[in-house]
Chain A
Amino acid sequence: MSAIILLLIASLSVAVVFLGAFIWSVKHHQFDDGFSPPRRILFDDPPVENIPDQSINKK
């Protein structure tokens, strides 16, 4: 059944992409620290001075 092969290929390639992403993330020490990342997101800098609606260059 050709459609099944197609779905398998599509699904497996996605699985492989994610496997790659997973290996990358482990190698880049993404998961070494399980303590600070969940806490860090809680601290946004307080708005210092915000410029009103006008385009600005990002940097």
Chain B
Amino acid sequence: MEIEKFYYDNKTVKWFGYAVMFWGIVGMLAGLWAAIAMYYPALNLGLPATTFGRMRPVHTNAVVFAFVGNGIFMGVYYSLQRLCKTRMFSDTLSKIHFWGWQLIIVAGAITLWAGKTTGKEYAELEWPIDIAIAVVWIIFGINLFGTIIRRRESHIYVAIWFYIATWVTVAMLHIVNSIELPVSMWKSYSWYAGVQDALVQWWYGHNAVAFFLTTPYLGLMYYFLPKAANRPIYSYRLSIIHFWALIFIYIWAGPHHLLYTALPDWAQSLGVVFSIMLIAPSWGGMLNGLFTLRGAWDKVKEDPVLKFLVVAITCYGMATLEGPLLSLKSVNTISHFTDWTIAHVHIGALGWNGFLTFGVLYWLIPRMWNTTLYSKKLAGTHFWIGTIGIVLYAIPLYWAGFTQSMMWKNFTEEGQLRFQFLETVTHIIPMYVTRSIGGALYLSGALLMVYNLRKTIAKGNFIANEAAEAAPLPKKIPTHGKTYWHRWIERRPMQMLVFSLIAVAIGGMIELIPTFLVKSNIPTISSVKPYTPLELHGRDIYIREGCYLCHSQMVRPFRDEVARYGEYSKAGEFVYDHPFQWGSKRTGPDLARVGGKYPDSWHYNHMLDPTSMSPGSIMPSYVWLMDHELDTSRTGAMIRAMRKLGVPYPDGYAADQAGKDLARQEAVIDSSLRADKIQAGRNKEIVALIAYLQRLGKDIKEAPKEQTASK
């Protein structure tokens, strides 16, 4: 057979590599900023853009979609060409993919800083950017599948399967979760409301973790680990089982983010069962990675690349053991809403994603520049600083999460809550300080790496097009004649196992569907009414400022939460919430029942200077709400959008009556503020925010008992 000569495209890999380093530093700086803001809120310099509620989504989007995202593309573009023995399908598509993605990131950062957000975690970007993401993702898909189809190697190596799964699943997740109704250029409302929105969001959120932070990186692990160690993966069969099992189990685990919330019980149980099942393939994968290095530990001691990969794989193991543990209802009772979740996240993020990325960069860059690493010693230093950084990040947060949860749940002998919420916050501030030191160390390690790689690049010669040779695929892959299907099953115990797994998963689903249909109606509570126009404006401000990133709106049915916040939350309370605002972290207290708890003037003073009302509070001041005028020109469009989503405002309400109602409610709040000697000015944003806060949890108090007795 004739041997063909061709060239691998390294240039695109190089660009993605630069982007990884750049956005990694930016994203981690934003994380560090947020970490410091948690005990020194004045860090925002009085600006809206630099306040915690906006910096946190900038951080999460930058590290997940820019740092890890570009890391995925860098690794895929490098390994896919070599695994398929062909150049990428189209250089033009590669270019569009690269620049399109960077443009999305820049647009994302700017809009998030400007407060344009959908208010759904990890899906904050507004609708025009959502569309751009879909387009670029499809371009990536054409390039990916085009390359696979043109391959010169008939066997599809397991890493490629992980890439395919990533592409397919992320496409689906992104589309389903981003269904939203645009109100204006940079504002939209989620199509779903309340419980349904929460379910879609965490189905997305969990699978984003699974198929953005996990499966593509597993693909990278299965390629770069054997390459770096120069030995084959311990068990190829195991890697294939790892893949198929993950794919069929991961999708169903999402509800573990919503345990004890107003989500129906069966959905919660389903999430728990599948989460527990995940331990098996995950640990299979981890052991497969570590066993690959058996008998080569002397090499690990020498080689910084392998050191990074070993810690990354170990952290994958830790996060995937801890994850199922967190899915147990009894553990989640303690961990949910606390820093425990944040510690779990960063074991995965800093350890698994971060260290794997560093390892790949240290391996890839010298190779593409046809040279050796500038300084092994510096890389070793990076390794140790980074590892200490992870430890200092995670341990204080486990401690903080556990301690705070115990304090929340602590009752005195007389049956009173022992601690004010604020006491539980000030108690853990030293842990927050330590975490930021850990983060700073981790970041300085990354800076060392950038320096080291820059030096490496300077002494090397970039190979833009790397020559390679391979025979083309035979037109038809020879088959061994007709065999009966059960024959090959008998001969293949591994495939059998995978098949039964699939059968169980799908069977379980089909069995459950009828139950879903019967039991899953959201009970309606007649006293729950749509928001007034002013409250709706206030809600938009609440979302814009990212209040949901520190405050939950979900009282779980526990003694301490009911004692602290009031009656537990019912599904029927959220039917007009587009999007839902349950939150996932309680840095501040729950707000689901805050309405009517304090006078309007308390809220005014509290937003102006939180410490004046709650001495020692770490909430930032929101002075600009006192100055900004409310944009009432949007009222009509907002109401019309809500009506389209099924919120029952009367016919023609948007045209005229909405504006009048808004003005009337402003006047009421204004006069109540005046009574307390506050001259707010009635058309300020703060008035709308107060209106919203005072509404929270009020409706249910007027409901007849029998409607709220059950959920």
Assuming the contacts A18-B248, A37-B157, asked whether A44 and B468 have C-beta atoms less than 8 A apart, the reply is yes
Q: Which residues B181-199 have CB closer than 8 A to chain A?
A: 192, 195-197, 199
Assuming the contacts A41-B157, A59-B6, asked whether A12 and B240 have C-beta atoms less than 8 A apart, the reply is no
Chain B residue contacts of A34, Cβ below 8 A: 236-237, 240
CA distance A22 to B230 in the complex (A): 29
A54 to chain B, nearest CB (A): 8
Chain A residue contacts of B509, Cβ below 8 A: 8, 11-12, 15
Contact A41 B226 (CB under 8 A): yes
Extra inter-chain contacts (17) besides given A47-B467, A53-B465, A59-B4, CB under 8 Å = A1-B195, A1-B196, A4-B516, A6-B200, A7-B176, A7-B200, A7-B203, A8-B513, A8-B516, A14-B172, A15-B502, A15-B505, A40-B155, A45-B468, A45-B469, A45-B470, A50-B463
CA distance A2 to B516 in the complex (A): 10
A16 to chain B, nearest CB (A): 8
Chain A residue contacts of B616, Cβ below 8 A: none
CA distance A18 to B91 in the complex (A): 28
Contact A3 B251 (CB under 8 A): no
Contact B169 A14 (CB under 8 A): yes
CA distance A4 to B6 in the complex (A): 49
With both beta carbons as reference points, the residue of chain B lying nearest to A29 in the complex is identified as: B477
A56 to chain B, nearest CB (A): 6
Contact A42 B466 (CB under 8 A): no
CA distance A58 to B84 in the complex (A): 14
Chain B residue contacts of A13, Cβ below 8 A: 172
Instruction: List the one stretch of B112-120, B424-432, B492-500, B685-693 in contact with chain A.
Output: B492-500
**Among A4, A14, A33, A53, contact of B11 (Cβ-Cβ < 8 Å):** A53
Chain B residue contacts of A42, Cβ below 8 A: 226-227, 230-232
Number of interface residues of B (CB under 8 A): 71
CA distance A49 to B466 in the complex (A): 8
- Name the 3 nearest CB pairs between A and B, nearest first: A3-B196, A38-B232, A53-B464
Chain A residue contacts of B6, Cβ below 8 A: 58-59
CA distance A58 to B9 in the complex (A): 9
Contact B226 A50 (CB under 8 A): no
With both beta carbons as reference points, the residue of chain B lying nearest to A53 in the complex is identified as: B464
Contact with A along B469-496 (1 / 0, CB 8 A): 1100000010100000000100010110
Contact A53 B462 (CB under 8 A): yes
Contact A44 B82 (CB under 8 A): yes
With both beta carbons as reference points, the residue of chain A lying nearest to B235 in the complex is identified as: A34
CA distance A42 to B240 in the complex (A): 18
**Among A17, A21, A37, A48, contact of B469 (Cβ-Cβ < 8 Å):** A48
CA distance A50 to B232 in the complex (A): 27
Contact A47 B370 (CB under 8 A): yes
Q: Which residues B508-531 have CB closer than 8 A to chain A?
A: 509, 513, 516-517, 520-522
